[in-house]
Structure 1
Amino acid sequence: MLPPSGLFLAGLALFSGLVESTILQNGQVRETSFKNTAVDIGAFSLKTYPPNATEISYQGRWDSKYVSWWSAPGLKFGYTGSQVAITFGRSTSPGVLVGYRIAGLDWQFTNVTGGQTHMLIGPDSPGVDLTGPINPMTFELRVTNWAFGIQIEAVHVGEGQKLVKLPNAPRRIEVIGDSLAAGMYTSYEGLSSWAYGVGAGLGNTDYSITAYPGICAADQDCWGNPRGQVHQWFYTSDTSWRATEAHGNNPEPWDFSKHPAADLVIINIGTNDQNSHNNVSAPVYIDALTKIVQGVHGKYPKAQVVVMSLWLGFSQTGNTYASVSSQGFVKEVQNMIRMFNSDKYLNNPTVYDGVTKTSSQTNKKTKPFVHLFNTTGILQHNDIAPQWHPTDVGAIKVASHLLQFIKMTFGWELEATGPEVFHETLYWNDEPSY
Structure 2
Amino acid sequence: MRFLALIASCVYLASAKILQNGQVRITDYPDTTIPSIAGHNSSWRTYPRNARELSYKGRWDDNYISWWTAPGLKFGFQGSQVAVAFGNNTSPEVLIAYRVGGLDWQLTNVSAGTTHLLADSQATGFDSGTTQTFEVRVTNWDYGVQIQNVYVASGRLVQIPDFRRRIEIVGDSLSAGQYATLEGIASYSWGLAYGLGNTEFSITAYPGMCAYDGNGGYCYGGGPRQRGQEHQWLKVSDNSERAVAMYGNSKNTIHVMKNEGSLSDPPNYNFRAHPPADITIINLGANDSGQNVSDEQFFNAYTKLIDEIRRQWPRTQFIILNLWHFTQSGSTWITDSPLDNVIQNVARHYNRGSLNENGGQGIVHYFNTTGILEHNDISPAGHPTDVADVKLASHLMQYIKLVFGWDLEQEGPEVQHQTTYWNDEVNY
Q: TM-score, normalised by structure 1?
A: 0.87
- Please, which of 264, 287, 300 is the counterpart of residue 313 of structure 2? 300
**Which residue of 2 is the match for residue 357 of structure 1?**
none
How far the C-alpha of 1:98 sits from its partner, in A, is: 0.1
Give the letter aligned to residue 254 of structure 1.
Y
**Which residue of 1 is the match for residue 231 of structure 2?**
231
Q: Using the alignment, how far apart are the partners of 1:302 and 1:405 within structure 2?
A: 19
- Please, which of 270, 275, 282 is the counterpart of residue 260 of structure 1? 275
Q: Does 1:318 align with 2:315?
A: no
Residues 392-419 of structure 1, C-alpha deviation per residue, up to 9 Å, x if partnerless? 1110000001111111110001112111
- Please, which of 48, 66, 80 is the counterpart of residue 78 of structure 2? 80
Give the letter aligned to residue 105 of structure 2.
W
Q: Using the alignment, how far apart are the partners of 1:232 and 1:300 within structure 2?
A: 16
How far the C-alpha of 1:204 sits from its partner, in A, is: 0.7
Q: Using the alignment, how far apart are the partners of 2:304 and 2:126 within structure 1?
A: 47
Give the letter aligned to residue 341 of structure 1.
N
- 8 Å CA contact retained: 1:121, 1:128: no
How far the C-alpha of 1:338 sits from its partner, in A, is: 1.3
- 8 Å CA contact retained: 2:121, 2:128: no
Residues 160-186 of structure 1, C-alpha deviation per residue, up to 9 Å, x if partnerless? x11111101010000000000000010
How far the C-alpha of 1:374 sits from its partner, in A, is: 0.5
How far the C-alpha of 1:125 sits from its partner, in A, is: 2.5
How far the C-alpha of 1:316 sits from its partner, in A, is: 4.1
- 8 Å CA contact retained: 2:70, 2:139: yes
How far the C-alpha of 1:29 sits from its partner, in A, is: 3.4
- 8 Å CA contact retained: 1:9, 1:214: no
Q: Does 1:10 align with 2:6?
A: yes
**Which residue of 2 is the match for residue 145 of structure 1?**
140
Q: Using the alignment, how far apart are the partners of 1:7 and 1:388 within structure 2?
A: 20
Q: Using the alignment, how far apart are the partners of 2:47 and 2:248 within structure 1?
A: 30
- 8 Å CA contact retained: 1:84, 1:155: yes
**Which residue of 1 is the match for residue 98 of structure 2?**
100
Residues 64-115 of structure 1, C-alpha deviation per residue, up to 9 Å, x if partnerless? 0000000000010000111110100010000000000000100000000110
Residues 208-230 of structure 1, C-alpha deviation per residue, up to 9 Å, x if partnerless? 00000001000131132431100
**Which residue of 1 is the match for residue 244 of structure 2?**
244
Q: Using the alignment, how far apart are the partners of 2:19 and 2:342 within structure 1?
A: 38
Q: Using the alignment, how far apart are the partners of 2:393 and 2:41 within structure 1?
A: 42
Give the letter aligned to residue 118 of structure 2.
L
Q: Using the alignment, how far apart are the partners of 2:293 and 2:134 within structure 1?
A: 43
**Which residue of 1 is the match for residue 405 of structure 2?**
411
**SS across alignment from 2:72:** strand
**Which residue of 2 is the match for residue 118 of structure 1?**
116
- 8 Å CA contact retained: 2:79, 2:128: no
**SS across alignment from 1:292:** helix
Q: Using the alignment, how far apart are the partners of 1:430 and 1:29 within structure 2?
A: 18
Unaligned ranges ≥5, structure 1: 1-5, 345-365
CA RMSD of aligned residues (A): 2.2
**Which residue of 2 is the match for residue 341 of structure 1?**
351
Most deviating of 36-45 and 115-124: 36-45
- Please, which of 359, 367, 392 is the counterpart of residue 398 of structure 1? 392
**Which residue of 1 is the match for residue 197 of structure 2?**
203
Most deviating of 6-15 and 174-183: 6-15
**Which residue of 2 is the match for residue 222 of structure 1?**
219
Q: Using the alignment, how far apart are the partners of 2:292 and 2:19 within structure 1?
A: 33
Q: Using the alignment, how far apart are the partners of 1:26 and 1:390 within structure 2?
A: 16
Give the letter aligned to residue 93 of structure 2.
G
**SS across alignment from 1:227:** coil
Would you say how many aligned residue pairs link Structure 1 and Structure 2?
Answer: 399
**Which residue of 1 is the match for residue 357 of structure 2?**
none
**Which residue of 2 is the match for residue 327 of structure 1?**
337
Alignment of 1:178-189 (within 5 A): 178-189=172-183
How far the C-alpha of 1:116 sits from its partner, in A, is: 0.6
Q: Using the alignment, how far apart are the partners of 1:279 and 1:97 within structure 2?
A: 36
| Cα distance change of structure 1 residues 204 and 242 upon mapping to structure 2, 3 Å threshold | same
Q: Using the alignment, how far apart are the partners of 1:12 and 1:309 within structure 2?
A: 30
Most deviating of 52-61 and 41-50: 41-50
Q: Does 1:172 align with 2:169?
A: no
- 8 Å CA contact retained: 2:74, 2:135: yes
- 8 Å CA contact retained: 1:102, 1:127: no
- 8 Å CA contact retained: 2:78, 2:128: no
**SS across alignment from 2:296:** helix
Q: Does 1:283 align with 2:296?
A: yes
How far the C-alpha of 1:27 sits from its partner, in A, is: 7.4
| Cα distance change of structure 1 residues 377 and 320 upon mapping to structure 2, 3 Å threshold | same
Q: Using the alignment, how far apart are the partners of 1:328 and 1:225 within structure 2?
A: 25
- 8 Å CA contact retained: 2:90, 2:146: yes
| Cα distance change of structure 1 residues 376 and 33 upon mapping to structure 2, 3 Å threshold | same
Most deviating of 7-16 and 108-117: 7-16
Q: Using the alignment, how far apart are the partners of 1:15 and 1:174 within structure 2?
A: 29
Share of identical aligned residues, percent? 49
Unaligned ranges ≥5, structure 2: 250-264, 355-359
Q: TM-score, normalised by structure 2?
A: 0.88
How far the C-alpha of 1:320 sits from its partner, in A, is: 2.5
- 8 Å CA contact retained: 1:271, 1:328: no
Give the letter aligned to residue 309 of structure 1.
N
| Cα distance change of structure 1 residues 44 and 188 upon mapping to structure 2, 3 Å threshold | farther
- 8 Å CA contact retained: 2:32, 2:118: yes
- 8 Å CA contact retained: 2:208, 2:287: yes
Q: Using the alignment, how far apart are the partners of 1:60 and 1:329 within structure 2?
A: 29
- 8 Å CA contact retained: 1:79, 1:163: yes
Alignment of 1:265-276 (within 5 A): 265-274=280-289, 276=290
**SS across alignment from 1:15:** helix
How far the C-alpha of 1:44 sits from its partner, in A, is: 3.9
User: Segments of 4+ in structure 1 off by > 4 A?
Assistant: 6-9, 24-28
| Cα distance change of structure 1 residues 7 and 28 upon mapping to structure 2, 3 Å threshold | farther
